[in-house]
Amino acid sequence: MAMKVSRRKFNLGLLCSSMVAFVAAGVQRLKVRNGWVLRGED
């Protein structure tokens, strides 16, 4: 069954930390935010 989760349910302020770093990537620039290794456009 499809899950019904809305972003409003999450307290973004609490969850998002300020830690942002950039790392070189093969295809495009990746970034690390709050421990997540992300694509530049994320």
Task: Catalog residues that contact another protein under the rule CB under 8 A.
Answer: 1-3, 5, 7, 9-10, 12, 15-16, 21, 23, 25-28, 30, 32-39, 41-42
Say what the alpha-carbon torsion angle 17, 3, 6, 13 is, to the nearest 10 degrees.
-20
Nearest distance from C-beta of residue 38 to another protein, angstroms: 5
Minimum distance from residue 23 beta carbon to another protein (Å): 7
Least distance (Å) between residue 24 CB and another protein: 9
CA–CA distance, 13 with 6 (Å, rounded to integer): 15
Element (H or E) spanning 6, and its range?
none
